Structure 1
Amino acid sequence: MSSFDTPRHKFRFKRDALRYDFITRDNTPNLLKLLETDGCLSLVKVESPTVTLPRIKALTTGSVPQFIDVVLNLLNTESATDSIIHQAVRYGKKIVFYGDDTWLKLYPNIFLRSEGTTSFYVYDYTEVDDNVTRNVWDELSRNDWDIMILHYLGLDHIGHITGPFSPLVKPKLQEMDEIVKKIYDLTLSENRIILVTGDHGMKDSGGHGGTTYSETRVPFLLLGESCSNDILSQSDIPLIISTFMGLSFPSNSIGKISTKILSSIKLEKLLYALNYNSLLLANKSDVCSEDIIKASDMYYSFLKGGDSSGVNEIVSLYDSCLRRMNSDLTHHSVTQDAVSLVFAIIALIYCLTGSILTILDVRNGIYSSEIIMFVIILICLLFKINRIFVVIFCLITVLLTINNLKQTLQHLFGTKIHLDIVLILSLNILHAISMAASSFIEEEHQIWYFYFTTFLLANYNKNNNIQVIIVLFLFRIIKQLNQTGDKWAAEPDISQWLLLADNSLYLHVLYIVSLVLIGIYCLKSICTNNLNKLITLIILVLIYSLKIYSPNYIILGQTIWYLIFINLAVTFKINILSLINTWILISTLLYRPQNLILIPFCIYTSRILSQRIESELILTISHLWLGNALYFCQGHSNSLASIDIGAGYVGLRDYNPVYVLLQLLSHTYSLPILSNLLLLYHCNNINVWNILAVFRLLIVFVTILISFVQRHHLFIWSVFAPKILLESSHTLMLLIQILIHHAFVFVIKLKKKNKFNLHVKVSI
């Protein structure tokens, strides 16, 4: 398409987390005024997952990224192949870039000049944008570039920290509005186009990654050309830009051009672009091959004779076919390796049955064969072992699984099991089966709330019923602390009320009460010596100062981290209590003030459960339910948008993927981990890990199996894939807990053995 007349300069002004409803008279008055005379505003539908890296890929390649890009977004390791950036370079265009350094990872050594800013340090929403803006004015004084790409991050960071309704949002939008206006005025005499869009939106709670309307609807503003408003997919944008600039379309694109936005270009060029677009998609889809042939014949006849009487029909045919092919390709853009998925499912069945046998004491040994199985799985999947080997290994695994099932059934039929155990086990299995429905995944918190409260009521007829009443009363309140799920996530909750400026006193009181309760428990029940107690007290005071008065004070955050590990070192005796103390302090440091009350509630409820339940299995399951219920009370859901990114940066000056990931996982799964540690303290039996592992494997197995069966479901990327990712990370955290506990047990045994050997030598 090099025959097109191309503008000398094109600005691409990208705002991270720019919701469509942010474009208003109050927030962006200059933009809307310019659009009245020299541009248009279109609505862009964004595909899931709504995180930065896959969305940049969609904006530049015109393809639909895979869900694995969520992980690659965090690791920032992937580079793109063919895209509008590559096509522009091939046509001799020189590009400058400033903003999110994800672009520099995707497109290394491509830009004439560039400066990246880290997209992950969310507490910075000022310098991260100022660093972009200061380069803009220098570039406008130069004339050696053709395309300028700007990716501002401040709005996204504000959303992660304080949400879209924060008083910081409007000034930030007005700041960006002024910058666009200034760029427009300074380049008014040039043949240029200015585009403003967002990679994704922002959930009402502040995050992104899910599929809510506010996350998947962003604006597309075009200044400098006469055009009409339209509704687009994000994959359409590269083709629109390519058409304006006279570039070839990215080869992997499944997007379609918009005749409304391209209404200002010459008819010949529009028809050429439509024909080019249709041929590109026709190589990937045969949805309307006959209409494409008809439209192409009419187009070639037009080129030969110049008769424009049938032009409207040509445009209509092309436009209709492009929409149908785009819809078909988007629907089938999800590709899975069926053999690998079946392999993983069979292996999980084997691990599940093997773990059950370990719990039932049918065999000796813990996790040995299961660990070997996971190692073989990883080798096969990572190194793409020959399919014949995979099939043979699957057959061997099936035989081993059948043997495990045989032993399990023989043991169960010969053992008397109480009715209450059968009921509780059935409820866990029922929960796993419920994952087959997308609505049950979206509203999973309702299941755990019901299970937990029902279990407490079932234990009401024992002694000290006042304790059960207290727990039920408190739980009724804290489950309204953070709205979660899908249907009611945007409804007002206690946390939003506490964060209002007029209610800051109540927030302070609640935070102080939570810290005092945590301090009382740690100082009286956990701390083993006076030095341990003193450091714990200092840590809690410093955490209060950090969270209330100086949340961005990096040195203070680092000091607290050092003190936590010093506190563990001065415990002298490493045991389950020292681990509980350390974990409580870490969780307290990472938590937002309004959520801290969940920690003392978890401690108190665990104590009540341990006093009233004698069965090890039922006590383990009750703590499992407690941890899951509080996980959702904290505001989490099965949407990636509910992850509190800000918790990953406590005490960090810049983005470090290892530290950020560890802090994010620790914050996200802090309450399930705390309930496991409290369970281990009350139960003091290593077999609880086996029980927890079985139920963890069960939910992972069912989730993977259901996702495999429904891999062509409409909600595979928006519901089932995020569920697999979250359950996998939960399983990873459980595995880390098991390994750490076994390491401590090994060290303790080693110390006892050394003491015994020393005693023998002294006696001799």
Structure 2
Amino acid sequence: MISYYVLSILSILLYLYSFFPIAKINTSSPSFHNQTNFNLTPLSEPTIDRLVLVVIDALRYDFVNPENMPYLSSLSKNNGCSSLVKVESPTVTLPRIKALTTGSVPQFIDVVLNLVRVDSVEDSFLHGAVKKGKKVVFYGDDTWLKAYSDLFLRSEGTSSFFVNDFSEVDDNVTRNVYNEIALKDWDIMILHYLGLDHIGHIYGPFHSLIQPKLQEMDLIIKTIHRNVNSDGKKVLFAVTGDHGMKDSGGHGGTTYSETHVPLVLNGIECENDKIDQIDIPVIFSSLLGLEFPKNSIGKLSMNLLKKSLTKEKLLLFYYYNVLNLQNDNNLCPKFNKSIKYHQDFLKSNSNSSFIKSLKLYKSCLSDLNQKLIRKSIEQYDSGLIISCSALLFCFTSCFLYTFTQSTYKIKFKDSAVIYFVVMLTFLLQLNQFLSSLLCFLIISTVIYQIIIGSKYLKLNIKTIVMIIFSLNIVHGVSMASSSFIEEEHQTWYFYFSSLLLTITIKSIFFDNKSSKYMFMTNVLMLIIFRVMRKLNQTGDKWSHLPDLGQFFKNNYDYLRLYYVISLLLIFYCCKKIQKSKHYFTFLILTLIFVLKFYLNNPDLGKLIWFLIILNLIQSTTTKNCIENLITTFMLISTLLLRPHNIVLPPMLIFLSTIISKQLLSKETFIIAHLWLGTAMYFVQGHSNSLASIDIASGFVSLNDYFPPIVTFQVLCHTYCLPILSHLLVLRKFNDTSTWNLFILQRLWIVTVTFFIAFVLRQHLFIWSVFAPKVLIEASHNIILLIEIFIHHLVLILGSIFIHNKTSLKI
């Protein structure tokens, strides 16, 4: 069955490939040439001499106020303005830099590219500037250097991923600014500061370090602004953020604080406005006298430009903006009429013709902009999506039959037929009708055989029907609701709390022995689980509310006491699981190092990892390798988890112990632990928003950005509790049927999620809610496959070592 799951993962990857294509909009960008009788020469005449663009990473809109940034706030009141900028999802750096420079809507797959690689951007307002002979300098986030490697006259990058650095990344930028102010041979200077974003990842937006960092940025802005205007050149000074910051810290989601940033302009007369981030490149291009980026779908802002441009030039830019968005498949019926009024204005200088022409141009821009945005995010490969969904449905059905040990043999259980169906479906996916027909026949056959064959299944189907088909199916169907996805943690809290309550009731009425003891223990576990849910507010609607994690961050003395108690619980659990004498010394030593590491001695992190790896190697050389893996993973969690979350692994062990004593059925035991692991995943603070991924965990014990180690540590941090729950199951039931049920639960959810995401691809929240859920569910399945391979590898290595050891003794 492992081969089936590998094929399932391939189907998942193909679905992602078809659902998140790396595509471009092919808008035919006209040059400054005459398609009417208009004189287009004024378009290339710049209104400003220089542009200074300061990007403060994670500068949310409410950060800019007189208390935090007094000088920046004053800039918008004197020869400037402050606008509210709407940022599209995903709110991570690479897509936002593309939006800021190209005016296009980056694909959601750029989230992955942001972590893996950065392709060179082919066209932007920076390309237009260099083409016109302007000189561009850059300092800051090295993502810019990867995207625009050959455009900068001078540059220096800093890594955006090393989030433990709050000051050096900004000092390196400012150090170069003083040199550029002295040289003054540049036309565009871009500065991307990272310190604020790094503080947000570690501590969140309400920490005491945030305001000093904002005030530091304000002083830097004051210095730059006063010096770049010293030589009489007309300089546009612009300050903005690439994205905002979630109330709980981090970014990547769609909350208001993540998707709204300021744009403060100084150097031109303008009025405050509300614009989209993709509008910024065409606004800069119009002021610099540049051609618009060829893939730009942004639109000009009347409030930002009307006081800086003459009426004639303003209409010309609006005409050019509409011309830039039009192509043979995307026309504006009002365009010709707006041109007529435009011509009337040039002949008669009639204010009425100017207003009518401008109104029609703006209407065309709005219509074309919305059409192109939809087109840019709806480039699906429907045939491949349908094929992958059908195959995942088939594989899910196969695992269901295998787990329930059906005596009714179905055709799809035969390996040759499975591989044939896979090949045929992918071959026919080019023809959507044939592919859809084949998928319909496959699904209909599987459903028919499930219904007809159920009477041949063994009695444990009652357990499966009761638990999987009632609760897990309800959970799967709930994925059709964006609110249920955003607040999925509530589903799992309810499921697991209900399970604990059911066990408690059972201990009162049905257990004859130790009922009072079990009842008190169960009640205690219910209370503990309820308290743990308050450690980290998660989800979307209530994530801004205070939680215990925030309380401990603000009360360091309580946090230290709580941390020591958590380590003692870790020690107790590890010692109960691993009882050998040499392990006692190893455990004491490791936890002492962990405590010293927590008390600001980061160099110990490498030593702790060395000890953990030694323990992991030792775990493959004994018969009790699962127990050793459990303790190893608990020690990894002490190193990577936030201090207030270190109590979660021992609490998971205690909850597992309680339910293990009262759930005798293998199926209920496994499913209970799956629910436990999922509930604890959300208790840790995760959600279906990319902003809940704790990037800071990847840099524990590191002094620089090393992608493989960072990725490994982030994954360990994210999935440590679900993996720990899986290991606790394998400790008792280490067989194929256990893995089959793990796979079955994951495949069911990912299949339903993929199907719903495709059906609701026109939904308002498809890219803000459903698309992140698709990525997260795909990630869950890939991690489970890695678990399977590592588990089998450890067993193989252990058996080889034990066999060789036995042979040597003989």
Q: TM-score, normalised by structure 2?
A: 0.88
Which of 517, 523, 529 is the aligned partner of 2:575?
523
CA, structure 1 residues 424+208, in 2 after alignment: closer, same or farther (shift >3 Å)? Answer: same
3-state SS of the aligned residue for 2:77?
helix
CA distances 1:98-149 after superposition (whole Å, capped 9, x unpaired): 1101111111222111111000000001000011111111111223321111
Cα distance in 2 for residues equivalent to 1:255 and 1:220? 15
Show the counterpart of 1:618. 668
User: Structure 1 residue 321: deviation in Å?
Assistant: 2.7
Tell me the amino acid that sits aligned with residue 176 of structure 1: M
The answer to whether the 8 Å contact 1:350/1:397 transfers is no
Mean Cα deviation higher: 181-190 or 481-490: 181-190
Aligned-residue sequence identity (percent) comes to 48
Show the counterpart of 1:582. 632
Show the counterpart of 2:309. 265
3-state SS of the aligned residue for 2:743?
helix
Which of 578, 586, 595 is the aligned partner of 1:535?
586
3-state SS of the aligned residue for 1:49?
coil
Which of 412, 418, 424 is the aligned partner of 2:454?
412
CA distances 1:520-541 after superposition (whole Å, capped 9, x unpaired): 12123225341x3222221111
Which of 553, 556, 574 is the aligned partner of 1:499?
553
User: Structure 1 residue 457: deviation in Å?
Assistant: 1.4
CA distances 1:16-53 after superposition (whole Å, capped 9, x unpaired): 00011011111111112222212100000111111111
Cα distance in 1 for residues equivalent to 2:728 and 2:475? 24
Show the counterpart of 2:562. 510
The answer to whether the 8 Å contact 2:238/2:263 transfers is yes
Cα distance in 2 for residues equivalent to 1:291 and 1:374? 54
User: Structure 1 residue 601: deviation in Å?
Assistant: 0.7
Show the counterpart of 2:476. 432
1:228 aligns with 2:277: no
Which of 484, 488, 491 is the aligned partner of 2:538?
484
- Count of residues in Structure 1 that have an aligned counterpart in Structure 2: 749
3-state SS of the aligned residue for 2:685?
coil
Cα distance in 2 for residues equivalent to 1:93 and 1:341? 46
Show the counterpart of 2:340. 297
Which of 609, 614, 628 is the aligned partner of 2:659?
609
Tell me the amino acid that sits aligned with residue 488 of structure 1: W
3-state SS of the aligned residue for 1:269?
helix
CA distances 1:262-290 after superposition (whole Å, capped 9, x unpaired): 12122222111100111222327757x23
Show the counterpart of 1:629. 679
Cα distance in 2 for residues equivalent to 1:230 and 1:397? 50
3-state SS of the aligned residue for 2:76?
helix
Which of 522, 536, 548 is the aligned partner of 2:599?
548
1:159 aligns with 2:210: no
Cα distance in 1 for residues equivalent to 2:95 and 2:343? 38
User: Structure 1 residue 514: deviation in Å?
Assistant: 1.0
The answer to whether the 8 Å contact 1:680/1:686 transfers is no
Question: What does 1:724-739 correspond to in 2, within 5 Å?
Answer: 724-739=774-789
3-state SS of the aligned residue for 1:290?
coil
The answer to whether the 8 Å contact 1:285/1:329 transfers is no
User: Structure 1 residue 725: deviation in Å?
Assistant: 0.9
Show the counterpart of 1:443. 487
1:563 aligns with 2:629: no
Unaligned runs of 5+ in 1: none
The answer to whether the 8 Å contact 1:285/1:325 transfers is no
The answer to whether the 8 Å contact 1:536/1:567 transfers is no
Question: What does 1:62-77 correspond to in 2, within 5 Å?
Answer: 62-77=103-118
Show the counterpart of 1:422. 465
CA distances 1:423-459 after superposition (whole Å, capped 9, x unpaired): 2121011100100000100111111111111111112
Cα distance in 2 for residues equivalent to 1:517 and 1:111? 55
CA, structure 1 residues 260+380, in 2 after alignment: closer, same or farther (shift >3 Å)? Answer: farther
Question: What does 1:129-528 correspond to in 2, within 5 Å?
Answer: 129-188=170-229, 189-263=232-306, 264-283=308-327, 286=330, 289-335=332-378, 336-362=380-406, 387-388=429-430, 408-409=450-451, 411-415=453-457, 416-417=459-460, 419-425=462-468, 426-460=470-504, 461-462=506-507, 463=515, 464-500=518-554, 503-528=555-580
Cα distance in 1 for residues equivalent to 2:418 and 2:156? 46
Cα distance in 1 for residues equivalent to 2:297 and 2:333? 19
CA distances 1:652-700 after superposition (whole Å, capped 9, x unpaired): 1222222111111111111111111011112333321100101100000
Show the counterpart of 2:17. none
1:56 aligns with 2:97: yes
Show the counterpart of 1:573. 622
Cα distance in 1 for residues equivalent to 2:309 and 2:99? 24
3-state SS of the aligned residue for 1:44?
strand
CA distances 1:210-233 after superposition (whole Å, capped 9, x unpaired): 111111110001111111110000
CA distances 1:711-754 after superposition (whole Å, capped 9, x unpaired): 11000011000111111111111111111112223334445666
Cα distance in 2 for residues equivalent to 1:374 and 1:515? 53
The answer to whether the 8 Å contact 2:384/2:429 transfers is no
Cα distance in 2 for residues equivalent to 1:370 and 1:749? 31
CA distances 1:633-659 after superposition (whole Å, capped 9, x unpaired): 111111111111111111112222221
User: Structure 1 residue 234: deviation in Å?
Assistant: 0.4
Mean Cα deviation higher: 618-627 or 409-418: 409-418
Cα distance in 2 for residues equivalent to 1:371 and 1:570? 42
3-state SS of the aligned residue for 2:655?
helix
Tell me the amino acid that sits aligned with residue 82 of structure 1: D
3-state SS of the aligned residue for 1:151?
strand
User: Structure 1 residue 405: deviation in Å?
Assistant: 5.3
Tell me the amino acid that sits aligned with residue 341 of structure 1: I
Cα distance in 2 for residues equivalent to 1:567 and 1:279? 66
Cα distance in 1 for residues equivalent to 2:416 and 2:780? 18
Cα distance in 1 for residues equivalent to 2:753 and 2:417? 21
Cα distance in 2 for residues equivalent to 1:390 and 1:315? 44
User: Structure 1 residue 558: deviation in Å?
Assistant: 1.2
Mean Cα deviation higher: 166-175 or 415-424: 415-424
The alignment's C-alpha RMSD in Å is 2.7
The answer to whether the 8 Å contact 2:61/2:260 transfers is yes
Tell me the amino acid that sits aligned with residue 114 of structure 1: S
Mean Cα deviation higher: 536-545 or 155-164: 536-545
3-state SS of the aligned residue for 2:83?
strand
Unaligned runs of 5+ in 2: 1-31, 33-42, 508-514
User: Structure 1 residue 320: deviation in Å?
Assistant: 2.9
Cα distance in 2 for residues equivalent to 1:705 and 1:374? 23
User: Structure 1 residue 178: deviation in Å?
Assistant: 1.4
Cα distance in 2 for residues equivalent to 1:370 and 1:10? 64
Tell me the amino acid that sits aligned with residue 730 of structure 2: L
Which of 14, 17, 23 is the aligned partner of 2:55?
14
The answer to whether the 8 Å contact 1:347/1:373 transfers is no
The answer to whether the 8 Å contact 2:753/2:773 transfers is yes
User: Structure 1 residue 64: deviation in Å?
Assistant: 1.1
CA, structure 1 residues 344+123, in 2 after alignment: closer, same or farther (shift >3 Å)? Answer: same
User: Structure 1 residue 614: deviation in Å?
Assistant: 1.4
Cα distance in 2 for residues equivalent to 1:226 and 1:515? 60
User: Structure 1 residue 324: deviation in Å?
Assistant: 3.2
CA distances 1:167-208 after superposition (whole Å, capped 9, x unpaired): 111111111111111122112222211111111000111111
CA, structure 1 residues 375+465, in 2 after alignment: closer, same or farther (shift >3 Å)? Answer: farther
CA, structure 1 residues 300+387, in 2 after alignment: closer, same or farther (shift >3 Å)? Answer: farther
